[in-house]
Amino acid sequence: MLRRSYRQNEPPDLLFDDHEDHIWSLVSAAMAAADPARALESNWPWVLSKAERFYIVGAGKAALGMSLKAEELCGDRLLGGAIAVIPERLSRLLESIQDHDLAFEAFPVAHPYPDERNVRAAEAIADMARRAGEGDHLLALISGGGSAMLTLPAEGLTLDDLASITRALQRAGAPITQLNMVRKHCEQLKGGGLARLAYPAQVWAFILSDVVGDSLNVIASGPTAPDPTTYQDALDVLHYYNVEEDVPNVTRHLRAGARGEVPETLKPSDEALAHVTNMLIGSNRLALEAARKHAIEHGWRVVGFEFGVEGEARIAGMNLALRSQDILQRPDRPACYLLGGETTVTVHGDGRGGRCQELVLAAAIQLEGIENVAVAAFATDGIDGQSDAAGAFCTGQTVARGREMGLNAARYLNNNDSYTFFQQVGGLIELGPTGTNVNDIAIALVY
C-alpha cells in the first residue's frame, strides 16, 4: 500500500525492487503540479499586485485551497467572498484555523447531486458577483465539481425541475455534453452566467480542468466562458430523447427562451466578455507533463506519453500492460509510459472499486508472470470510485500472490471489486481527499 510516508527521491540505480518508491515519486510530482494553491500563486498576474479592491467566488473541489491562497495574496484588499465547499473539507479547515477569521464565507454543499445547500451557496456566489462593481476585481476560482456546486435554477424553475430533467436525460442515455447543454439554459450561473452577473467588474477566472480537452465552456459548465449553444439546441435534446412531456416546466422555460422571451446564455459578442480573463492554471496535461519531466530527470526514458485517454478502464489497463511487454524488448530501459485522462467502468457486478483500480487489476491479469514491470493508476482527487483509495499498483506477481491467498483476480474484476482484491493482496494507493481534481494518471515502469 502506498501512502504519503514513502520517500520521494529514487536511489541512484533504478531497480525493480524499488518500484514502489519510484511510483510514489511520480505520483508526488504529478500531484505537486495539480496543487491548487501552488497553481494559483504561480499564475498570479502581475497587474493584480496594483489592484485595490477584490472579491472572490469559488466552486469545485479545489476552491477552498485556491481561496485560502487568494486571501493570502490579496491581504486586506480582499473585501469579501463566497465559495462552495464539500462539508468534510470545510470541517477540517475550521479545525485547523480556529484563531483565524476568514475574509470570505464558505458554504457546505452536496456533491455530486445538488440539494438546497447548493442553491444557498450559489445564491451567495451570485450576490457576491453582483456586489462587485466598476473598478473592482472578482476572482472566480473554478475547478472540478463546480457544476453541481453552482446550481441556481433559472427564474420559474426549481431544484426539483433540475433534478427531474437530469434523471430523464440520464435514463434516456444522453451524454454529459447534451445534459450540460440543457443545464446551462435552465440555470443562472452556468454558460457564462457568473461573468454576466459580475459585469462591469473585472473578472479573473482561475480554472483547474477536470475534463478531457480542457474546454472552458465545459469545465464546471463554463460560468465565465461563452456558450456556443442555444435554447433551441436544448429543446432539440429534449425532443430527440422524447422527454418533453416528462419535464413540463423545463420544456416551457426552454420554449420561452427559444422565442427570445428569456435572455440567451453568454455569447462571444457579449460586452461582458471584454471584462473577463479566463486562465487555465491546472489540468491533466500539466500534471502529466510534470510527471514526465520528473521521470526524465531521474533516469527514465519516457517512451510513451498520452493524454485525453478515455474508454473502458479494463481495456485501457490491458493495453497499457501490452505496451509494457513490448517495451521489455527495447534495449533502452529503464523506460516508462505515461497516460492521462479519465476512463469509465461499465458496472456488471456489485463490488467496490473505481476506474483506476479496475484499470490496474486488468493490467495485473495481462502481466501475470512477467518480470520487471510495474503499473499504477490514480485519481488526482484522491477518491477512486466507491472507495477510499486513489488507485492501485501491480506487478507481474500480483495475480499469483492473490492466488496463494485463494483469490481469483478475474472474478474480482468481473464483479467490479478491484478495491477488495487490492485491499487483501496489497497495492492500494492512498492519498486521502486531495482538494484538487485534474482527472487520472496511469504509469507503466519497465526495468
Whole-angstrom distance, CA of residue 306 vs CA of residue 51? 40
Q: Verify that 335 and 211 share a domain, yes or no.
A: no
Q: Kindly give the residue spans of alpha helices, DSSP state H, lying in 199-247.
A: 231-240
215 falls within a domain: yes
Q: Check pLDDT > 60 for residue 296.
A: yes
Q: Verify that 193 and 92 share a domain, yes or no.
A: yes
Q: Residue 361: which domain range?
A: 16-33+285-446
Which residue type is seen at 285? R
pLDDT grade, residue 125 (50/70/90)? very high
Q: Verify that 302 and 415 share a domain, yes or no.
A: yes
62 falls within a domain: yes
Q: Tell me: the pLDDT tens digits for 43-98?
A: 999 999 999 999 999 999 899 999 999 999 999 999 999 999 988 777 776 676 66
pLDDT of the residue at 89: 73
Q: Verify that 118 and 27 share a domain, yes or no.
A: no
9 falls within a domain: no
Q: Verify that 344 and 398 share a domain, yes or no.
A: yes
68 falls within a domain: yes
Q: Verify that 274 and 318 share a domain, yes or no.
A: no
3-state secondary structure of 43: coil
Q: Tell me: the pLDDT tens digits for 201-228?
A: 999 999 999 988 899 999 999 999 999 9
Which cell goes with 290?
Answer: 510534470
Which cell goes with 9?
Answer: 527521491
- DSSP 8-state assignment for residue 369: T
Task: Please give the average per-residue pLDDT across 230-255, as a whole number.
Answer: 97
Q: Tell me: the pLDDT tens digits for 98-117?
A: 667 889 999 999 988 899 99
Whole-Å CA distances, 140 to 40, 126, 276, 277 = 11, 11, 10, 10
- CATH number, position 205: 3.40.50.10180
Q: With beta carbons less than 8 A apart as the criterion, state whether 275 and 200 touch.
A: yes
pLDDT grade, residue 323 (50/70/90)? very high
Which is higher by pLDDT, 6 or 168? 168
Q: With beta carbons less than 8 A apart as the criterion, state whether 14 and 447 touch.
A: yes
Whole-angstrom distance, CA of residue 93 vs CA of residue 70? 15
Q: Verify that 305 and 272 share a domain, yes or no.
A: no
Q: Verify that 419 and 439 share a domain, yes or no.
A: yes
Q: Verify that 71 and 195 share a domain, yes or no.
A: yes
Residue 376 backbone dihedrals phi, psi, to 5 degrees:
-140, 155
Q: Verify that 416 and 291 share a domain, yes or no.
A: yes
pLDDT of the residue at 2: 61
Q: Verify that 358 and 377 share a domain, yes or no.
A: yes
- Angle among Cα 106, 210, 415 to the nearest 5 degrees reads 105
- CATH number, position 437: 3.40.1480.10
Q: Verify that 218 and 334 share a domain, yes or no.
A: no
Q: With beta carbons less than 8 A apart as the criterion, state whether 64 and 435 touch.
A: yes
Share of the chain above pLDDT 90, in %: 87
Look up the pTM and report it: 0.88
Q: Check pLDDT > 90 for residue 145.
A: no
